[in-house]
Amino acid sequence: MLDLLLNGASVLITGGASGIGAVCAEAFARQGAAVALLDRDADNVEAKVVALRARGHDALALVADVTDDAAMALAVNQAARWRGRLDILVCCAGISGPVGRTAPDIAPAEWAQVMAVNLGGVFHAARHALPLLETSAHGSMVVLASDSSFVAYPGMAPYSAAKGGVLMLTRALAVDHPRVRVNCVCPSVVDTPMSRTDLGMDAVQMAEAPFPVIAPAQLANHVLFLASPVSAPMNGAALIVDFGYMARPSFPQPEFGG
C-alpha cells in the first residue's frame, strides 16, 4: 500500500461541508491528517466535524464565505493556529451558476457571483494561506478546477470562464510561489448534489447515466495524491480526470475488439 505521507498533516478544505470537499475531508482524515473544514453553511460544517470527531479524527469547523476576503483571513489564520502550522490547502468551494442559458439571458449579477465564488474564492484562500504554506516542509495547494477549464459545455458560459481562470490562476501561483506546490484537478461529471441538480437527475438516474460519472471518493484519491509529498515533482499541473474523453477526436471512431 502506498504511503501518502499525510499522517499528522494540517489541512484546510474550503467547501468542506458537502460534496467533493466533504469526501476529501474524510479521505484526509483516514490518512491521519488533521482537517479544518471551512464552509459558509454553519450547521452542515459543524455536523460534519462532529461526525469526524466521533470516529476519532482531528477536525475543526470554520464558518466563512470564500468571497469575503476579511473573513477568509481570519479563518485561514485560525486554521494555522489550531495545529501550529498549515501544510495543505484544498479549494473545493464552488457553484454552478446559471445552467442552460446563454449570455443574453444571464444577468450581470449572476456572472459576478460565479466569478466571485469559483475564481475569487480560490484567490482569497490562496492570498492568506500561501505565506503560511511557504513555511511548511511540504506546502501544497490543490484546486478543484474542471474539464470545463478546457472545453465549454452548452449553456454554462460563466462556469466555464471561471474554471478556465482557475486553471491559469493555479499555474500563476505555482510560478510566483516556488516553495509551495500548486496543482489543480480537472474532473468531468462527479456525482454530487450540485451535479444532480444541474442535470435534473436523482441518485438512481446518475448511477444509470448514459455517460461515465466519477464517484466523489475516486476524485478524492486524486486530490490526496496531488497534495501528498509523494507527488513532489508535480507543480503547476492540471490533472484531467475524464475517462479519456478529451483525448478523443471529433470524427466518428471505429469500434475495436479486445
Residue numbers annotated as active site? 159
Residues 6+ apart with CB under 8 A from 13: 21, 24, 25, 28, 35, 36, 37, 38, 90, 92
Tell me the C-alpha distance between 183 and 174, whole Å: 8
Question: Under a CB-based contact definition with an 8 Å cutoff, are residues 75 and 64 in contact?
Answer: yes
- Continuous H helices in 228-257: none
Helix, strand, coil abundance in the chain, percent, nearest 5? 45, 15, 35
Q: What are the DSSP E strand ranges found in the chain?
A: 10-14, 34-39, 59-63, 88-91, 140-144, 181-187, 238-241
